[in-house]
Amino acid sequence: MKNIMFLTQQISMGYGVSVVVHEICNILCKSNYNVYIGSNQIDYEIHGVKSYIIKPDPDVIKKFAISNKIDIIIAHTSPYFEVLPCLAKQFKCWAWEHGDPTPEFFDQDICERSKIIINKQKNVYPFLNKVIAISEFISHDIGYLNSEVIYNGCDHVIDFGKKTSEDINFSSNSPIKIGTLMRLGTGEAKYKGNNLFLELCEKLKKNNVNAEFYVMGRGTSEDAKLFEEKGYKVFRNASDDERSKYLRELDIFISPSQWEGFNLPVVEAMKSGTLSFVFDIGAHPEVCPFLFSSIDEMAVNINYCSNNRNLLLKYSEKCYYFVKNKFSWDKNVKRFFELLNENMNNK
Which pLDDT belongs to residue 341?
A: 85
Closest CA to 83 of 54, 110, 112, 111: 54
Which pLDDT belongs to residue 240?
A: 86
Residues 157 and 224: their CA atoms lie apart, in Å, by 25
Which pLDDT belongs to residue 326?
A: 92
DSSP annotation string for 231-251: T-EEEES--HHHHHHHHHH-S
Which pLDDT belongs to residue 171?
A: 86
Residues 285 and 288: their CA atoms lie apart, in Å, by 6
Residues 51 and 341: their CA atoms lie apart, in Å, by 24
- Other CB atoms within 10 A of residue 290 CB: 19
Q: How many CA atoms lie within 13 Å of 121's alpha carbon, on the beta-carbon side?
A: 16
DSSP annotation string for 261-320: SS-HHHHHHHHTT-EEEEES-TTHHHH-S-EESSHHHHHHHHHHHHH-HHHHHHHHHHHH
Q: What are phi and psi of 215, to 5 degrees?
A: -135, 135
Which pLDDT belongs to residue 236?
A: 92
Specify which residues 178 forms β-bridges with: 213, 252
pTM of the model: 0.93
Which pLDDT belongs to residue 108?
A: 80
Which pLDDT belongs to residue 187?
A: 67
Q: Is 41 helix (H, G, I), strand (E, B) or coil?
A: strand
Specify which residues 10 forms β-bridges with: 41
Domains of the chain (ranges; CATH) run: 3-153+328-345 (3.40.50.2000), 176-324 (3.40.50.2000)
Find the angle CA(268)-CA(160)-CA(254) to the nearest 5 degrees: 35
Query: Tens-digit pLDDT profile for the chain (347 aa)?
Result: 589 999 999 998 878 899 999 999 999 998 889 999 999 999 999 988 999 999 999 999 999 999 999 999 999 999 999 999 999 999 999 999 999 998 988 878 899 999 999 999 999 999 999 999 999 999 999 999 899 999 999 999 999 999 999 999 998 789 999 999 988 876 677 888 888 999 999 999 999 999 999 999 888 888 888 889 989 999 998 888 899 999 999 999 999 999 999 999 999 999 999 999 999 999 999 999 999 999 999 999 999 999 999 999 999 999 999 999 899 999 888 999 999 888 767 65
Q: Is 106 helix (H, G, I), strand (E, B) or coil?
A: coil
34 in Cβ contact with 65 (< 8 Å): no
